[in-house]
Amino acid sequence: MKAYAKNIRISPKKLGVVASIVRSMDAKKALDLLRFMPKKGARVLYKVLQSAVANAEHNDMQRLEDLQIGELVVHKGVVYRRGQPISRGRSHAILKRTSNIRLELFVK
């Protein structure tokens, strides 16, 4: 029972803060917590966790109450490189970082 999200436009550092809170939590409790957490990373992880739960219920006939987050990994995705023009014809680099999420559930 897995779910993936790739090239999400949030830095892995910001997403890792939310991921460390819900790691190895019950799926139902994590969904409730993420739903009301005031962070962008919480909204993203909520969708991924919801997808993993739907996969478990539909494909493996599992119940939400029996599921627990087994593995939640946040990796660095591609980095969009932009530039900010400055004086003398030079520019500063702007790095727009993305994240990849891999979430795996298991039955308690």
pLDDT in the model for residue 40: 95
pLDDT in the model for residue 108: 85
As a whole number of angstroms, the longest Cα–Cα distance in the chain is: 64
The answer to whether residues 1 and 56 touch, using CB atoms and an 8 Å cutoff, is: yes
- Inform me whether the pLDDT recorded for 66 exceeds 90: yes
Q: What is the pTM of this model?
A: 0.90
pLDDT in the model for residue 42: 97
- What is the mean predicted confidence (pLDDT) over 57-79? 95
Q: What is the CATH classification number for the domain harbouring 27? A: 3.90.470.10
Query: Which structure tokens are listed for 22?
Result: 């819900």
Looking at the structure of the chain, the number of domains it has is 1
Boundaries of domain holding 85 = 2-107
pLDDT tens digits, 7-64: 999 999 999 999 999 999 999 999 999 999 999 999 999 999 999 999 999 999 999 9
